[in-house]
């Protein structure tokens, strides 16, 4: 069911309340005098990493770095927020680090608004792409333009994800108008898990469905889906996933900043990590899934902090 404007505002307010309570309890930002507990390597010991639900590369990369940093003597706190309050918290200095900033399209609005109070640490994945996808068996639908005239077959619905996601904005504000789909389709906004459940249900029964998706994502190896061609470029060009941080991060965490600048993941590394953490172990067992992947990939883990 499509969320109303009131519901979106309520969700945003709840996120800001959660952030303010977290900040009051834990504090944040750079200590100008450097009077803070230190990790064995001299970095600030305590670090808060923000992450956004529904973005699987964010989930697994965040938990991977949490495990690695804890093994190096850091105290790591994870804070789950929607994108808008996360960027606000990072700009205020309450969130130290975010591993899933997509540029130049998806998170452009947040970056433009807060970039003076943030640091761009570097790119760790360079093949990111927002997409609209359908099952492979929909042979006559190969472009977003092909959706026109098929609204009845698809119940007039493009199955989307979270209301505050950049993918949601691009689909609603760019793709639907540019391809003349506004009178025929509505974008359903709920959550990434709900979208994936719908995709799973439809593909198991070989029914037509159209969803918003993105690369990298394990869904491409799990379900028989294909990206629709986008000749008008409505979904944006290929993007890069950046590690971003609050202003002063590199000063407080010089060693970690150096590690993050060198951090890279390819499709195979990221795909196996997502598959292990999300599909094999699932929600609530991210730590166990991450630990298993680390044991199976010791060379990769070692070079993260070399």
* Domains contained in the chain, number: 2
107 and 247 housed in the same domain: yes
Query: Among residues 76, 65, 70, 84, which one has the least CA distance to residue 16?
Result: 84
Is position 163 within any domain? yes
- Cα separation, 117 vs 88, in Å, equals 10
For residue 2, pLDDT over 70 is answered with no
Same domain? For 246 and 122 the reply is yes
Residue 103: pLDDT above 70? yes
pLDDT mean over 265-272: 90
Cα separation, 170 vs 164, whole angstroms: 11
Residues 132 and 144 sit within 8 Å (Cβ to Cβ): yes
pLDDT exceeding 70 applies to what percent of the chain? 89
* Residue 98 in domain: yes
CB 238 within 8 A of CB 87: no
Q: Domain boundary residue among 171, 196, 227?
A: 227
Q: Would the pLDDT of 117 be above 90?
A: yes
Domain boundary among 227, 256, 276: 227
Same domain for 138 and 74: no
Give the range of the structural domain holding residue 261, as residue numbers without chain letter.
5-126+241-304
Would you state the pLDDT for residue 221?
82
- Residues 6 or more apart from 230 whose CB is under 8 A from it? 131, 132, 143, 144, 175
**In this predicted structure, what is the pLDDT of residue 260?**
99
* Domain end among 227, 256, 274: 227
The β-bridge partners of 97 are 49, 245
**Does the pLDDT value for residue 267 go beyond 90?**
no
Q: Can you give the CATH number for the domain in which 185 is found? A: 3.40.190.100
With pLDDT > 90 as the criterion, what percentage of the chain qualifies?
80
| Structure token digits, residue 20 | 């303010």
pLDDT at 268: 86
Residues 156 and 199 in one domain: yes
Q: Domain check: are 201 and 253 in the same one?
A: no
- Contact call for residues 16 and 66 (beta carbons, < 8 A): no
Q: How far is CA 47 from CA 29, 70, 212, 240, in A?
A: 10, 10, 33, 24
Q: What is the mean pLDDT of residues 148-158?
A: 97
248: left (phi over 0), alpha (psi -120 to 50) or beta: left
- pLDDT for the residue numbered 231: 97
Same domain, 122 and 15: yes
Same domain, 65 and 149: no
Q: How does residue 213 score in pLDDT terms, banded at 50, 70 and 90? A: very high
Element (DSSP H or E) covering residue 103: strand 97-103
pLDDT of residue 29: 52
Taking the C-alpha atoms of residue 148 and residue 175, their distance in angstroms, rounded to an integer, is 12
Whether the predicted pLDDT of 6 surpasses 70: no
Does one domain contain both 27 and 75?
A: yes
- Give the domain CATH number at 87: 3.40.190.10
CA pair distance 143, 134, nearest whole angstrom? 10
Q: Say which residue, 5 or 12, is predicted with more confidence.
A: 12
Residue 201 lies in a domain: yes
Q: Report if residue 236 sits inside a domain.
A: no
Is residue 235, in this structure, part of any structural domain at all?
no
Domain-located, residue 109 = yes
Cα distances from 104 to residues 37, 177, 185, 203, 243, in angstroms, run 36, 21, 27, 32, 13
Cβ-Cβ contacts under 8 Å for 267 (sequence gap 6 or more): 127, 216
* 43, 103: one domain: yes
Q: How confident is the model at residue 35 (pLDDT cuts 50, 70, 90)?
A: confident
The pTM of the full predicted model, rounded to 2 decimals, is 0.73
pLDDT exceeds cutoff 60 at 8: no
pLDDT value of position 34: 59
Considering the domain architecture, whether residues 135 and 117 belong to the same structural domain is answered as no
For the segment 114-128, the average pLDDT, to the nearest whole number, is 97
Residue 234 lies in a domain: no
- Choose between 15 and 240: higher pLDDT: 240
Query: Looking at the structure, do residues 152 and 210 belong to the same domain, yes or no?
Result: yes
233, part of any domain: no
Instruction: Answer yes or no: do 118 and 161 share one domain.
Output: no
């Amino acid at each position: 069911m499509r969320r109303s404007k009131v519901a979106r505002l309520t969700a945003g307010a709840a996120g800001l309340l959660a952030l303010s309570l977290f900040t009051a309890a834990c504090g944040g930002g750079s200590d100008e005098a450097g009077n803070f507990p230190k990790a064995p390597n001299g970095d600030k010991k305590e670090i808060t990493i923000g992450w956004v639900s529904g973005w699987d590369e964010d989930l697994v990369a965040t938990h991977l770095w949490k495990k690695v940093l804890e093994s190096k003597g850091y105290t790591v706190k994870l804070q789950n927020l929607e994108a808008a309050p996360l960027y606000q918290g990072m700009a205020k200095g309450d969130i130290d680090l975010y591993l899933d900033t997509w540029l130049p399209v998806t998170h452009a609005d947040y970056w433009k608004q807060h970039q003076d109070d943030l640091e761009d640490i570097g790119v760790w994945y360079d093949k990111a792409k927002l997409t609209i996808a359908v099952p492979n068996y929909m042979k006559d639908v190969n472009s977003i333009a092909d959706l026109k005239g098929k609204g009845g077959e698809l119940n007039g619905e493009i199955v989307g994800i979270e209301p505050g996601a950049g993918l949601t904005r691009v689909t609603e504000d760019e793709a639907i108008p540019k391809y003349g789909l506004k009178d025929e389709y509505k974008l359903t906004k709920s959550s990434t898990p709900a979208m994936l459940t719908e995709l799973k249900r439809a593909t198991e029964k070989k029914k037509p469905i159209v969803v918003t998706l993105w690369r990298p994502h394990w869904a491409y190896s799990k379900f028989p889906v294909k990206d629709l061609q986008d000749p008008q470029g409505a979904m944006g060009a290929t993007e890069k996933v950046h590690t971003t941080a609050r202003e002063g991060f590199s000063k407080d965490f010089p060693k970690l900043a150096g590690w993050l600048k060198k951090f890279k993941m390819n499709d195979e590394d990221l795909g196996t990590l997502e598959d292990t953490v999300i599909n094999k172990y699932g929600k609530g067992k991210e730590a166990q899934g991450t630990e298993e992947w680390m044991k199976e990939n010791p060379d990769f883990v070692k070079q993260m902090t070399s």
